Structure 1
């Protein structure tokens, strides 16, 4: 399992989410909001497909019950977050965003907060997995 690739994807998603967060802090709709939304959606679709295909199946085969249980819980939560994000993307057309900018901003902020919280949870799980792998393989990190 390539934790580095998952981390790279998280970093890219985080950059786009922060750019969208900055955009929705503006009083008037700035140029590029639609592009940011769709960029974030594409990044999330790619990331979720990678997780569904590789990450979660690998975790569910773990010898440790704690890891299997955590993976099952996170996967279930991901489904709910995915449904909410899909509804958000469907509900907010470009025309509606222009008409209802303050409402769009109000709905976007909690979505981005949930997304960033989720990324934080997964990053902590990645750290745990990397640590567990290091212990299992008897390797230690080198200090600079």
Structure 2
């Protein structure tokens, strides 16, 4: 399992989230908001696919029941956050954003807070797993 790749993706998600956060801090809708939203959505889709394919299945095969339980709980929570993000992307069309800029800003800050809180918890989990188990982060592990 390549935790470095997951961390790299978290860093990219964080950069895009902060750019979107700065955009929604503006009084009037700046150019590029739609691009940032879709960039974030693409990054999340890529990241979640990797977690679903490699990270969570690996944790769920752990010999430790607490690790398996933790992985299952995080995976369920991720599903709920994913649904919330999908609804956010669907509900806020470009036209609606233009009409309801202040409400969009509030909703965007809320979803970004939830997202970044989740990323932070995953980063702490990656650190714990790396330290406790010495998970192989070598290039050979990437093909696993």
Give the structure-2-normalised TM-score: 0.92
- Structure 1 counterpart SS, 2:125: helix
* Counterpart position of 1:88: 88
* Counterpart position of 1:30: 30
* Counterpart position of 1:60: 60
* Counterpart position of 1:106: 106
Asked if 1:118 corresponds to 2:118, the answer is yes
1:59-109 deviations in whole A, cap 9, x for unaligned?
000111121111101000000000000000000001110111001001111
Supply the RMSD in Å over aligned alpha carbons. 1.2
* Counterpart position of 2:75: 75
Question: Unmatched 5+ residue regions in structure 1?
Answer: 138-144
Aligned length: 136
Give the distance between the partners of 1:71 and 1:13, measured in 2 at CA.
21
* Counterpart position of 1:142: none
Question: Unmatched 5+ residue regions in structure 2?
Answer: 137-144
Give the structure-1-normalised TM-score: 0.92
* Counterpart position of 1:140: none
Residue 133 of structure 1 and its aligned partner are, at CA, apart by 2.1
Give the distance between the partners of 1:24 and 1:16, measured in 2 at CA.
12
* 4+ aligned runs moved over 6 Å, structure 1: none
Give the distance between the partners of 1:16 and 1:118, measured in 2 at CA.
15
Give the distance between the partners of 1:64 and 1:12, measured in 2 at CA.
31
